[in-house]
Homo-oligomer: A and B are copies of this chain.
Amino acid sequence: MKVAYLLYDRFTALDITGPHDVFNNVPGIDSIFVGEEARPYRNESDTLSIVADAAIDEVTDPDILVVPGGFGTRALLDHAPLLDWIRAVDQTTTWTTSVCTGALLLAAAGLLDGRPATTHWLARGTLAELGAEPATDRVVFDGKYVTAAGVSSGIDMALRLATEIYGPEVAQAVQLGIEYDPQPPHDTGAPEKAPKEIVEVVTMAFAAQEAG
């Protein structure tokens, strides 16, 4: 089982390292970080670089594709080299997945037309404009397309996918290995749960970052 993790400029690190450290704990999974070129890619806040060890033209047959989100997605919605590659590898993947606004790239590649899919809660409108049917679920399975909500949801997505592929015992062992027994200090992790004024603050902060 080969998992390809796509990098691009202005990605979100936790979107991709969450699923990676889940799959990483499954024996027999190969991981490869890919980018349009094999080079370091900088995250959206310009604070961290992860290295793409391979260029996309070197990785043609991943079994699982993981596309992270990040403010950088907006500049790529008509970027043919990446969208063409996503479409090409999707022909033979067993699972094509995204976290957060990574769903916008899958949709821009035409893979989510008419499909239920999830994304960061602030990107649901954009996802709809790109042809998908936005859901508010944390993880959405639709055939081989698996989409996760914002940033941290990639951990849940990958654990659910590991359960589907390898069975519950393997996924349970992975969950114990990464000690995923979450104890969030607040109950504000979804817009339906957070106070209205917190939702407004985050909406404005993200709009400013997206503009920047």
- The interface of chain A, by Cβ under 8 A from chain B, is 12-14, 17-18, 20-21, 24-25, 27, 30-33, 40, 45, 47-51, 53, 100, 120-121, 138-139, 149-153, 155-156, 159-160, 163, 168-169, 171-173, 175-191, 193-195, 198-199, 201-202, 205-206
Contact = CB atoms under 8 A, between A and B. Distances in A.
Query: How many copies altogether?
Result: 2
B176 A188 contact: yes
Given A48-B33, A50-B49, A175 B189 contact: yes
Contact of A180 (B12, B13, B47, B151): B151
Given A12-B21, A171-B185, A172-B188, 16 more contacts: A20-B48, A32-B47, A33-B48, A40-B40, A120-B179, A138-B179, A151-B177, A152-B180, A153-B179, A169-B201, A173-B188, A175-B184, A175-B185, A175-B186, A179-B189, A182-B184
